[in-house]
Amino acid sequence: MKSIAIYNDRVRRSLIDPEEKNKLEEEGCLYVVMMTSNLSHTIQDKIGLATAISQFNTFNENNDPYEEHDFLKFEFEGESIIVKFDYYDRELEYGSENPEDLSKTCRVITVMLAIDY
């Protein structure tokens, strides 16, 4: 499995696992999670949503052709949810020149309703 997928999976787990979050910080894995305002106002159970994101494991050649685990789509509270990872430089100005290099990358995870995509 690619290191990008491994770190994306760990970042997702860290949403509900403080130990994983601490390990990622120690390893220098920088990330931020963004939520669209539409999703924020529509979804009531944010902890349940974070749990669903962290436990998502339905990756296949149709939704993960590059095997990076960087795009999720699932149903939650009757809504279609999309979660996508983007890779920026650590100053969040440009795309990362090497997403596998933790010292040069900040993951930006955007959580949104499918209608926001």
Locate the domains of the chain by residue range.
3-116
Q: What is the pLDDT of residue 2?
A: 85
CB under 8 Å to 31, separation ≥6 — which residues?
A: 11, 24, 106, 107, 108, 109
Contact 96, 87 (CB under 8 A): yes
Query: If residue 71 lies in a helix (H) or strand (E), which one and from where to where?
Result: strand 71-76
Q: What share of the chain is helix, strand, coil (3-state, %, to 5)?
A: 40, 25, 35
Q: pLDDT for 73-91, tens place per residue?
A: 999 999 999 999 999 999 9
Q: What is the pLDDT of residue 1?
A: 67
